[in-house]
């Protein structure tokens, strides 16, 4: 007999709350706090969400080339990179698709309302203070698109006292240069950070096999700017502003060439993009009284891309503009009980030279969540109501119950629902080369069940493990007629993902070790085929150690084979990647760092399709080296 959502609500209803947490700005500097799961500060150990947090210290230790490269450290997260630095990516959290992951920057939705994903490859890691990754649906808190998980990126924050200028210069393989200049500081009431950067690379030849026009290195250039400012007017009232802006040029390889719909033939092409990504946030956070804390956020984000071709005139524009207002209220009721209530408003607009039948829509939502934290027992129960201008209303629920077996072991059982509304391209893409959008699409939906075990196995040993299942219905997929070759998007698929993931942290003989593993079985329930581009087994091992002013580290990533297509007829082999790193604090003001990526020069190309015995696809990054120096003068 199925357990209805109402019955589940009753079963999980006993509730209570959290102790007073740190402020948002203070929490961004801490590794044991979490903001994204419930949109307010809480101890990570108290959250029911499976999560990974990267602080600024983690970013500087790991020295990732990009945000997607950093995300490969997270168990359950897979990233497909289509051609090296600056290239398009596929992001798969727990077997879900790129468009089924919600990306936030300082609380504001980021990404394209046409492509359905966020261009994380364009974000400069030097402008980032913190990244939180949630695995599993959080639609009851965040609404649409949070089916696979949520990634929130926080722009770099200032220090609390004095002025702290910093500069970084790095150079490496493929004529790659990274430059960052910034200053941060503040006093007891005010904090700020202002930084600018310029990243450039001559790049690699991104395609394996293509036209001669693509047989060159594909350059990438990114100019970045970040600003954050916060001020405490009183002990109970704080306001702030953040801005991040990334823009530049990205050369592209297209193994398909340029399609001519008149002659049904493909021609050589030399495409490149001019892009601009920006997010601004204005917020006010106040404590109304001893139990009531309120936060208002207003945000605006832009994702603008214009595609050119050196061999053809004209361009294609696809721009997304998003405006949002959020109001969050947290009531600390005592006895372990807390209540979160919120209102959200989102307005999406698309500007394109493609003729979309509809180019804007808004979404209004309200949510409520009750939390109880007792000595050994806790509950979480939430509901959200969305009213979408195009698709009407949608209710989503989540619930969790946690139990401490003893001081060192905790079990968490949770249930969550998710949904995703079709993108404007899914719905209204104009007729082009045998493909057209489908205005009759309906939202995708999911239900997830998860069991977590968190354990302090010893004084220096920590384990987190999750066993989960997610069922999807009304999935939006690309469907092509085998006779006419005409294609569109349709709600046809049912799918499910069974998975297991675990993270083990261990200190041994001065070495800090962290092992993350993930096992997934994502299947189309109609065909029984494994979902494409999802490896069923992944593992990441990190080892780090400090020897006085010198530190060394290594990351080994192992990925099993996967399929390049939904029919499971083209298989991509598995691979293992070894990265090495070292850092030297030469003086109080000067530090050097060295990163050697893909030391074994492993070739792990990304297959796109095969035709007449010829395979077409993209290269991944070969062996690269980067040497950097950071200067932090004392004023």
Work out the percent of the chain whose per-residue pLDDT is above 90.
72
pLDDT at 13 over 60: no
Residue 456 CA from chain centroid, whole number: 28
Give the Cα separation of 44 and 37 in Å (integer). Answer: 9
Work out the percent of the chain whose per-residue pLDDT is above 70.
92
Q: Between these two residues, 14 and 209, which has the higher pLDDT value? A: 209
Three-state SS at 629: strand
Q: What is the pLDDT of residue 505?
A: 96
Q: How many helices (H) and strands (E) does the chain have?
A: 6, 37
**Looking at domain 5-631, does it have CATH number 2.40.170.20?**
yes
- The mean per-residue pLDDT over the stretch 354-378 comes to 94
Q: Between these two residues, 128 and 18, which has the higher pLDDT value? A: 128
- Give the domain ranges of the chain: 5-631
Per-residue 3-state assignment (H helix, E strand, C coil) for 164-216: EEEEEEEEECCCEEEEEEEEEEECCCEEEEEEEEEEEECCCCCECCCCHHHCC
- Return left, alpha or beta for 153; rule: phi > 0 is left, psi -120 to 50 is alpha, else beta: beta
Give the Cα separation of 238 and 583 in Å (integer). Answer: 37
Arithmetic mean of pLDDT over the chain: 90
pLDDT at 453 over 70: yes
Residue with the two structure tokens 């083990």: 504
Compute the CA torsion angle 66, 72, 73, 74 (nearest 10 deg). 120
Q: Tokens for 576?
A: 């293992």
pLDDT at 210 over 90: no
pLDDT at 144 over 50: yes
pLDDT at 6 over 60: no
Question: How sure is the predictor about 487, in pLDDT bands with cuts at 50, 70 and 90?
Answer: confident
- The mean per-residue pLDDT over the stretch 489-512 comes to 92
Burial class (CB in 10 A: 0-12, 13-18, 19+), 200: middle
C-alpha distances (whole Å) from 406 to each of 89, 395, 410, 455 are 43, 36, 7, 10
pLDDT at 257 over 60: yes
Question: How sure is the predictor about 579, in pLDDT bands with cuts at 50, 70 and 90?
Answer: very high
Three-state SS at 49: coil
- The mean per-residue pLDDT over the stretch 188-197 comes to 94
Question: How sure is the predictor about 132, in pLDDT bands with cuts at 50, 70 and 90?
Answer: very high
Q: Tokens for 290?
A: 């001893």
Terminal Cα-to-Cα distance of the chain (whole angstroms): 69
- The mean per-residue pLDDT over the stretch 438-459 comes to 95
Q: What is the pLDDT of residue 270?
A: 83
Residue with the two structure tokens 């904090």: 191
Question: How sure is the predictor about 433, in pLDDT bands with cuts at 50, 70 and 90?
Answer: low
Give the Cα separation of 283 and 40 in Å (integer). Answer: 13
- The mean per-residue pLDDT over the stretch 277-287 comes to 96
pLDDT at 349 over 60: yes
- The mean per-residue pLDDT over the stretch 131-136 comes to 96
Q: What is the pLDDT of residue 19?
A: 41
């Amino acid at each position: 007999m199925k357990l209805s959502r109402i019955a589940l609500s009753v079963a999980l209803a006993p509730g209570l709350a959290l102790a007073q947490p740190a402020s948002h700005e203070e929490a961004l500097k801490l590794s044991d706090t979490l903001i994204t799961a419930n949109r307010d500060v809480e101890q990570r150990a108290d959250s029911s969400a499976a999560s990974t947090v990267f602080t600024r210290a983690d970013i500087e230790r790991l020295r990732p080339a990009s945000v997607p490269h950093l995300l490969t450290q997270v168990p359950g997260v897979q990233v497909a990179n289509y051609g090296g630095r600056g290239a398009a990516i596929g992001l798969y959290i727990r077997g879900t698709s790129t468009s089924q992951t919600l990306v936030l920057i300082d609380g504001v939705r980021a990404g394209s309302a046409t492509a359905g994903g966020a261009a994380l490859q364009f974000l400069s890691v030097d402008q980032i203070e913190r990244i939180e990754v949630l695995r599993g649906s959080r639609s009851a808190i965040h609404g649409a698109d949070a089916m696979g998980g949520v990634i929130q990126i926080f722009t770099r924050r200032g220090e609390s006292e004095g002025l702290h200028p910093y500069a970084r210069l790095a150079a490496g393989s493929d004529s790659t240069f990274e430059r960052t200049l910034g200053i941060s500081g503040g006093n007891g009431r005010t904090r700020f950070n202002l930084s600018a950067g310029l990243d450039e690379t001559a790049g690699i030849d991104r395609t394996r096999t293509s036209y001669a026009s693509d047989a060159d290195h594909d350059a990438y250039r990114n100019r970045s700017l970040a600003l954050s400012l916060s001020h405490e007017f009183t002990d109970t009232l704080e306001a702030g502003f953040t801005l991040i802006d990334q823009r530049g040029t990205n050369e592209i390889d297209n193994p398909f060439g340029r399609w001519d719909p008149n002659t049904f033939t493909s021609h050589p092409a030399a495409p490149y993009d001019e892009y601009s990504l920006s997010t601004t946030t204005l917020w006010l956070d106040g404590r109304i009284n001893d139990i009531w804390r309120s936060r208002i956020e207003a945000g605006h984000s832009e994702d603008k891309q214009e595609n050119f071709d050196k061999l053809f005139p004209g361009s294609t524009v696809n721009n997304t503009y998003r405006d949002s207002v959020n109001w969050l209220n947290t009531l600390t009721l005592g006895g372990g009980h807390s209540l979160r209530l919120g209102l959200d408003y989102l307005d999406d607009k698309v500007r394109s030279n493609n003729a979309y039948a509809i180019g804007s829509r808004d979404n209004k939502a309200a949510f409520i969540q009750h939390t109880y934290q007792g000595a050994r027992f806790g509950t979480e129960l939430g509901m959200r109501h969305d009213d979408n201008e195009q698709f009407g209303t949608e209710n989503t629920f989540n619930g969790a119950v946690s139990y401490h077996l003893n001081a060192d072991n905790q079990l968490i059982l949770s249930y969550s629902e998710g949904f995703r509304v079709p993108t404007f391209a899914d719905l209204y893409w104009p007729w082009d080369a045998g493909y057209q959008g489908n205005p009759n699409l309906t939202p995708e939906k999911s239900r997830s069940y998860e069991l977590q075990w968190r354990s302090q196995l010893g004084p220096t040993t920590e384990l987190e493990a999750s066993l989960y299942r997610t069922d999807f219905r009304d999935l939006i997929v690309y469907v092509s007629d085998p006779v006419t070759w005409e294609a569109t998007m349709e709600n046809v698929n049912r799918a499910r993902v069974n998975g297991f993931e675990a993270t083990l942290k261990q200190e041994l003989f001065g070495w800090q070790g962290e092992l993350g593993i993930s096992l997934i079985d994502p299947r189309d329930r109609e065909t029984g085929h494994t979902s494409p581009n999802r490896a069923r087994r992944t593992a990441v091992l990190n080892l780090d150690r400090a020897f006085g002013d010198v530190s060394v580290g290594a990351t080994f990533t192992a990925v099993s084979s996967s399929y390049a297509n939904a029919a499971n007829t083209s298989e991509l082999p598995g691979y293992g990647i070894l990265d090495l790193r070292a850092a030297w604090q030469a003086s109080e003001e000067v530090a050097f760092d060295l990163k050697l990526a893909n030391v074994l020069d492993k070739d792990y190309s990304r297959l796109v399709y095969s035709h007449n015995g010829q395979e077409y696809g993209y290269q991944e990054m070969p062996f690269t080296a980067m040497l950097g120096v950071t200067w932090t003068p004392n004023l």
